[in-house]
Structures are given as C-alpha cells and as structure tokens.
Structure 1
Amino acid sequence: MDDAPAEWPLGRLLAAAARSVERDWDERLRAIGLPHAALIALDIVIRTGPTGADTLARTARVQPQTMSRTLERLERDGMIERGPHPADRRRRVVTVTEHGRTMWDTARHIEREILPDDPDLRAALGRILHRS
C-alpha cells in the first residue's frame, strides 16, 4: 500500500501539514524567546492598535485568564506596556513597545521562511475558516 501524502484524504493532509509547520515555527519562535501565544497577542495589538485584555482574549479566542498570563509574560519581557484607558481609568490598555514590534517583525520573517505566502493557499484556508 502506497502511503504517499498525495493519496491521503484532504483532512489528514491538512492536519499533518499544519502540525509540521507549527512544530517548525514554534521551535524557531522559542529560539528567539517568543512563544506562539505571545506572537498572536502582539499581532492583534499591532494590527488593531492599543486595546484591552478582554478584547484581546475575545479576538484570539482564548479565555481571559490565558490572555492575562500571556500579557504578564509580554510585559515582563518588555514587549508590551499596560496603562490606564483614556476614557475609563478602571480599565487598562495594552500597547506594543519598540522591542515588541522588533520581535513581531522577526517572527514575521521567520514565518515567511517556513511558509512563503501563497495567495491560493491563503484564499482556500480563509474559505475553510469562514465556514467554521
């Protein structure tokens, strides 16, 4: 029996490819001191601008406690700052520091090395996610 990936069911192929890319990417991110969860938080803040932890958790689709731990590490490592919300002093706003932006840029470079952007693949994955 031939077990060539080209013959696999599409679901198996997609899952195996995702695991392979994620393992390589996570390993390279760990080497620069940036866990994948931290990269997701940085990416959201860079793309949307300063925001609250609750919004970050909702956008990342994680529990608030999980995001809180991620933000604590990012703040400890100097990649974000948390300050008072301009309209509501009870809330705090997350902003990315220059160090955080540099780490994000490095992570994006690593991502392009591991998985060069392919518009067709991006469109197909977007359609899959949109159905979820």
Structure 2
Amino acid sequence: MDDAPDGWPLGRLLSAAARAVERDWDERLRAIGLPHAALIVVDIVIRTGPTGADTLARTARVQPQTMSRTLERLERDGLVERSPHPADRRRRVVTVTDRGRAAWETARHIEREVLPDDPALRSALAGILERDREGRSPSN
C-alpha cells in the first residue's frame, strides 16, 4: 500500500505537517525555557509594545483566563513584567524583560532552523487565516 504524502488530501497533509513542525519546534523551545504559548505572548508584546492582558488574549485568540495563567508563568519565569496602567490603576500593562527579549531572539533563530521562511507558503497560510477571520471557509 502506497501512502505517500504527495497523494494525501490537502487537509491531512497540512495537519500532519503542522504537527511535525510543532513537535520539533516545541521541543527546541522547551530546551530554552520558552513554551510555545509564552513565545506567542512575548512576540505580540515585542511587535505591538506594552499592552494589557485583555488585548493580548484577543490578539492571541485565547480566553482571558488562559492568558492570565500564561502571564503568571511568564512573570514567574522573568520573561515579562506587569505594572500598573498609568491611566487606570486597576489594570496592568505587560512589558517584555531583557531575558524575555533574549529568549525571543533565540526562538526566532530556532524557527528559521525548523521552518525556513517560504514566501509562497507564508502567503497561502496567511490567506487561510484571513478567510477564517472573515468567517469564511477557504473554499468560499
């Protein structure tokens, strides 16, 4: 029985490739003390600047409770700091520490080793996510 990936349905191929990359990437990230969920948060804060947990949860597409737990771990591990919001003392602002930025830089190198950038692949995946964001399936 020939079950070569080039004959698989596209959905199976995408899922299998994503799992393979994620396993390898997660293993390498764990080795530097930066779980995948933490990397997403650090990346968002570095790219957008200091922000609140509610904005982070929305941007990362996770529940606020999930983001709260992730931020607790990141703060405990010294990767982010949370400080009072200057305009609303009830809120907290998340910033990345020097240690978090160094881990992020290392993670970027790891990502390029695990999955070198391919503009066509990047465009196709971004298109899938954009259609999903708009509430349409890729076939619409």
TM-score by length of 2: 0.92
The corresponding residue for 1:13 is 13
Question: Are residues 1:87 and 2:101 paired?
Answer: no
**SS of alignment partner, residue 71 of structure 2:** helix
Return structure 1 stretches of 4+ with deviation > 4 angstroms.
none
Pairwise mapping of residues 1-132 of structure 1 onto structure 2 (< 5 A)? 1-132=1-132
Q: Which amino acid aligns with 2:74?
A: L
**SS of alignment partner, residue 78 of structure 1:** coil
Identity over aligned pairs, percent: 84
**SS of alignment partner, residue 3 of structure 1:** coil
Per-residue Cα deviation, 1:73-106 (whole angstroms, up to 9, x for no partner):
1111111110011111111000001100000001
Unaligned runs of 5+ in 2: 133-140
Shift of 1:129: 1.0
The alignment's C-alpha RMSD in Å is: 0.7
The corresponding residue for 2:136 is none
Q: Which amino acid aligns with 1:109?
A: H
Unaligned runs of 5+ in 1: none
Q: Which amino acid aligns with 1:7?
A: G
